[in-house]
Amino acid sequence: MTTVVPGRRTRRQSELLDRLLSLFLEQGFSRFTLDDLAAELRCSKTTLYALAPSKEQLAVEVVKHYFKNATAQVESAVARQTRHDRRIAAYLNAVADALRPASRTFLDDVATFAPARSVYERNTRIAAERVRALIEDGINNKMFRQVDIAFAAEMIAHTMQAIQRGDIARRTGLNDAEAYRELASFVLHSLRLD
Are 38 and 45 in contact by the 8 Å Cβ rule? The answer is yes
Per-residue pLDDT, averaged over 8-37, amounts to 93
What angle, rounded to 10 degrees, do the helices at 176-191 and 149-165 form? 170
**Band of the pLDDT at 1, cuts 50, 70, 90?**
very low
Cα separation, 186 vs 191, in Å, equals: 9
Query: What pLDDT is stored for residue 176 in this prediction?
Result: 87
pLDDT tens digit sequence for 120-146: 989 988 988 998 899 999 899 888 999
Per-residue pLDDT, averaged over 159-176, amounts to 89
pLDDT at 5 over 60: no
DSSP secondary structure of the chain: -PPP-TT---HHHHHHHHHHHHHHHHH-STT--HHHHHHHHTS-HHHHHTT-SSHHHHHHHHHHHHHHHHHHHHHHHHHT--SHHHHHHHHHHHHHHHHTT--HHHHHHHHHSHHHHHHHHHHHHHHHHHHHHHHHHHHHTTSB----HHHHHHHHHHHHHHHHHTHHHHHH---HHHHHHHHHHHHHHHHB--
Per-residue pLDDT, averaged over 28-46, amounts to 94
Q: What are phi and psi of 192, to 5 degrees?
A: -60, 150
pLDDT tens digit sequence for 75-113: 999 999 988 878 988 998 898 899 889 998 998 999 899
CA distances from 134 to 81, 146, 169 (A): 12, 13, 26
Query: What pLDDT is stored for residue 81 in this prediction?
Result: 93
What residues does 144 pair with on adjacent strands? 192
Query: Between 113 and 177, where is the model more confident?
Result: 113
Per-residue pLDDT, averaged over 28-52, amounts to 94
The pTM (predicted TM-score) of the whole model is 0.84
pLDDT at 71 over 50: yes
CATH code for the structural domain at 11-191: 1.10.357.10
Q: How many Cα atoms within 13 Å fall on the side-chain side of residue 74?
A: 25
Per-residue pLDDT, averaged over 55-67, amounts to 95
**Band of the pLDDT at 2, cuts 50, 70, 90?**
very low
Query: What pLDDT is stored for residue 157 in this prediction?
Result: 85
Q: Quote the percentage of the chain above a pLDDT of 90.
A: 59
Q: What are phi and psi of 54, to 5 degrees?
A: -155, 165
Q: Where are the domains of the chain?
A: 11-191
